[in-house]
């Protein structure tokens, strides 16, 4: 369930109140004078997610600026009931919520850069020591799923600026993984900390640089799972599985460059490019299909 809070000038209050009370999926509308701001009224209402997009469009048509209202997500414990547009419970689908999350995760924030660096160090160590456990640990730390999904949202909504900004953030993050892994493996080689006779192609993770039909299938499936988890705010858990298509290949590419296995770096680069491209494609198609399905959203993509 979503909660709408807004402050509207007195001369618009009657019209705005009528919109809320007459809109499908809007319940428990409360109106009262705004004591903090003269000549205005505060409105509070519960909005079913499946109706939120159309409501936001109607509010925009009225000329209400975005700074005068806010939609927040409420965790409803009880009662559980069917929402306005058919089956599915109270946790319906709202584009406005997904787009908001995409915009919030489309920029290279300091936390994102810090986590991607940590993931790079762990993954590089995993490639060098042939440790699958370290690779999984790096996947758990990596936040790369968020800009991937933000890119998909931008493409599905035809918001080029959002898609471009998110893709730049993703590219920056994966580039950092490659650079960090390259520098780390080069320093370890320089100071003699690499295993004797270390060659990256002899690592048990050398399959990270090889492309076959499983590369395509896994990337497509990961894009769908990642997008669905992003919508339901389960990306923290699913992101571990999704990063199998990005972080290991990026780290392998970096180690190959830093430890003298340049001949094998191209294979990892190809795997990484295929994975990212197919994930974005399948994630975008997932959103497009959801946008045309009935009982999902009151507004088109």
Residue 66 neighbours by CB distance under 10 Å: 9
Pick the CATH number of 99-292 from 3.40.1350, 1.10.10, 2.40.128, 1.20.1080: 1.20.1080
Q: Give the pLDDT of residue 234.
A: 64
What does the pLDDT look like over 239-252, one tens digit per residue? 666 777 799 899 99
Residue with tokens 């389960």: 234
DSSP designation for 45? E
Using CA atoms of 59, 63, 69, 75 in order, give the dihedral in degrees to the nearest 10: 10
Closest CA to 159 of 106, 221, 94, 109: 106
Strands 40-47 and 26-33, bridge-based pairing:
antiparallel
Protein fold of 2-92: Alpha-Beta Plaits (3.30.70)
What does the pLDDT look like over 251-275, one tens digit per residue? 999 999 998 777 778 888 999 999 9
Q: Give the pLDDT of residue 92.
A: 54
Q: Give the pLDDT of residue 93.
A: 59
For residue 79, whether the previous peptide bond is cis, meaning omega lies within 30 degrees of 0, is yes
Helices (H), the chain: 10-22, 49-61, 95-104, 110-129, 132-141, 145-156, 160-190, 213-231, 235-242, 247-258, 265-292
Q: Give the pLDDT of residue 221.
A: 92
Q: Give the pLDDT of residue 245.
A: 79
Residue 27: strand pairing partners? 46
Q: Give the pLDDT of residue 173.
A: 96
What does the block give as tokens for 221?
Answer: 């499936």
Task: For the chain, give every domain's residue range.
Answer: 2-92, 99-292
Closest CA to 295 of 80, 91, 56, 93: 93
Q: Give the pLDDT of residue 259.
A: 84
Low pLDDT (below 50) residues in the chain: 84-90, 296-298
The most distant pair of C-alpha atoms in the chain lies apart, rounded to whole Å, by 79
Report in angstroms the alpha-carbon separations of 250 from 53, 290, 296.
Answer: 38, 31, 36
């Amino acid at each position: 369930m979503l909660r709408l809070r807004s402050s509207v000038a007195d001369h618009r209050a009657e019209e705005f109140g009528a919109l809320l009370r007459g809109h499908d999926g809007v319940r428990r509308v409360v109106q009262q004078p705004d004591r903090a701001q003269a000549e205005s009224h505060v409105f509070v209402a519960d909005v079913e997610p499946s109706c939120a997009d159309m409501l936001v469009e109607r509010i925009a048509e009225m000329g209400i600026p975005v700074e005068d209202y806010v939609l927040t997500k409420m965790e409803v414990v009880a009662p559980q009931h069917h929402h306005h547009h058919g089956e599915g419970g109270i946790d319906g689908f709202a584009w406005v919520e997904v787009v908001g999350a995409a915009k919030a995760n489309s920029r290279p924030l300091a936390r994102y850069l810090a986590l991607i660096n940590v993931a790079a160090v762990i993954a590089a160590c995993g490639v060098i020591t042939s440790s699958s456990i370290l690779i999984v640990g790096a996947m758990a730390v990596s936040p790369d799923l968020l800009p991937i999904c933000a890119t998909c949202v931008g493409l599905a909504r035809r918001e080029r600026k959002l898609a471009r900004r998110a893709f730049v953030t993703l590219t920056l993050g994966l580039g950092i993984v490659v650079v960090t892994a390259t520098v780390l493996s080069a320093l370890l080689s320089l100071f003699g900390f690499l295993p004797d006779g270390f060659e990256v192609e002899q690592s048990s993770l050398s399959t990270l640089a090889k492309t076959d039909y499983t590369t395509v299938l896994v990337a497509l499936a990961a894009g769908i799972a990642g997008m669905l988890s992003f919508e339901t705010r389960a990306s923290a858990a699913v992101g571990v599985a999704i990063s199998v298509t990005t972080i290991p290949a990026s780290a392998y590419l970096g180690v190959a460059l830093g430890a003298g296995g340049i001949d094998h770096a191209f294979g990892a680069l190809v795997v990484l490019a295929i994975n990212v491209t197919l994930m974005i494609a399948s994630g975008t198609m997932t959103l497009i299909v959801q946008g045309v399905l009935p009982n999902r959203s009151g507004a088109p993509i």
